[in-house]
Structure 1
């Protein structure tokens, strides 16, 4: 499939009021206009796309959907045919759903471990419309879409890997250097970053572990780091550089209990021709100062069903 990457994420949240302050003042997100039929939800933008993150009121803080971008309409139609040939249940979004997401057309489907995904083409945008609400040089989404997401699944199966690589056409990047089973994948058309999505095996657990967002300046990392420390927000990892990426980052926890990794590329990432197998998670820094799995990763009985 000709997939560019992940373009938007949707969440259910019990803490929308907290996000309304946290998004602009900590992360530098701009509050986007909500669709006319969804004024109770909170939408954020951090580039010129209509939105990148959406928070909908819910009883449990959890990820609700992951929005993948197809390069165009023909690629979108080819993807539908590929899903159907593979026996994947596909729900065709109606006009109201497409308007709410700000896209031309979309389909919805679930992966083999139960996470809800969407595939679309033609997301709305307005040039030069992102104005940071605090000093910030902006987020680097050029060619890599919005960033990456790491999910925890109670069952890590061969069926999951087959779905991601043979059906969705993602490239397997490697399993990292951390403990346990975590595998990283990137979209076919993404040659700007190492991974778009990763799945970690957490027996009896489900949820989003972290979201990775790239910023345009090392100062953006430092200023966000200072705001996090000044507000005494909980962190997962301090500043550091992963072994497999030429990037500097740190991780802190959001109001919804998952972490955001704020990332600056020290050097341009070059696509690797081999699967990476690093001995260490990071070459410097990234001192673990909090739990690896935050409150967003829950026991199955706490998770519930997402429509």
Structure 2
């Protein structure tokens, strides 16, 4: 690692979700997944996983999607280094207002454009809440690994990889090759700290457009115990929320998990016990298939959507939004 690298100082800190389905989201997040919930006003609410004031900020709007990814940066020096990188590439940077920072429970907030139209936010000095957690789960694994990961489908995976390498010094952890309904997917997993991955980028080949409506295919949070995973899985079923994939275990990070469908349509993975990367010994490899066992499709999943896109909408191709100035060069498309 060179002296100017910010690897290890960056952690997935919060996500901003835009939705008009507040009642459904409150029930999903609180009663099914088991997070702590706070109402800020009629147009804003938050979920907490730990002592930080905000992990998920939900605001009213039509997107029904994740609209911003928030990265906590350990110190002001690394924060300013990332800011300088983005500005040096001619990409506009906007300072968050005091109110926006307060909503996210942070001291400093900057935002700039990201791939697929997902705004990237960097922040420092999270505010710790004095209010005890009131949630069904016993806890969630955050800390140095950040709060989980985000998975994105892309027709331009090399550009997306280049972006996160340029901005955050992201490292390639490994690949998974998977074929679904005749469509070949190559999924690359990127890490910015000890978590196996904070970003998963699925390259969609053989399709003219991205088969997933939302910018984010799924997001992940890590349960503190196997009992928490099992109980939340049961609550999702009992409360009538759609399940996308049943409990299974991944080939690469060995995480046990399931995927539920959120009120906004993208998927929400609850996982438990993934491996932690040892930087001194880790070498990237390729795994065949996403699961060792389980993860059986339940109802309509990405498999169904891939079939529909293969057969019906080739005339609707449109370019994927990228940020060329930050997307680097020389990263193979594999």
CA–CA separation in structure 2 for the residues paired with 1:33 and 1:211: 22
Provide the residue aligned with 2:292 in structure 1: 283
- The structure in which a higher percent of residues are helix is 2
Q: How does 1:237-252 map to 2 (within 5 A)?
A: 237-252=245-260
Q: Tell me whether 1:124 sits opposite 2:127 in the alignment.
A: yes
Q: How does 1:123-162 map to 2 (within 5 A)?
A: 123-126=126-129, 129-132=132-135, 134=136, 136-153=137-154, 155-162=155-162
Give the secondary structure class of the aligned counterpart of 1:74: helix
Q: Where does residue 168 of structure 1 map in the other structure? A: 168
Equivalent residue for 2:14, pick from 8, 15, 24: 8
Aligned length: 293
Structure 1 Cα separation of the partners of residues 199 and 238 of structure 2: 31
Q: How does 1:36-185 map to 2 (within 5 A)?
A: 39-126=42-129, 129-132=132-135, 134=136, 136-153=137-154, 155-179=155-179, 180-185=185-190
Q: CA deviation at 1:280?
A: 2.7
Structure 1 gaps, min length 5: none
Task: Kindly state the Cα deviation for residue 113 of structure 1 after the two structures are TM-superposed.
Answer: 3.8
Flag the 1:230–1:96 CA change in 2: closer, same or farther, 3 A: closer
Q: CA RMSD in A?
A: 2.8
Task: Please report how far the alpha carbon of residue 71 of structure 1 lies from its aligned counterpart in structure 2 after TM superposition.
Answer: 0.7
Q: How far off its partner does 1:157 sit? A: 4.8
| TM-score, scaled to structure 1 | 0.86
The 1:295–1:78 alpha-carbon spacing in structure 2 relative to 1, beyond 3 Å, is: farther
In the alignment, which residue of structure 1 is the partner of 2:227? 219
Alpha-carbon offset, residue 291 of structure 1: 3.9
Residue 196 of structure 1 is matched in structure 2 by 198
> What is the alpha-carbon distance in structure 1 between the residues aligned to residue 91 and residue 82 of structure 2?
11
State the distance in 2 between where 1:98 and 1:197 align.
24
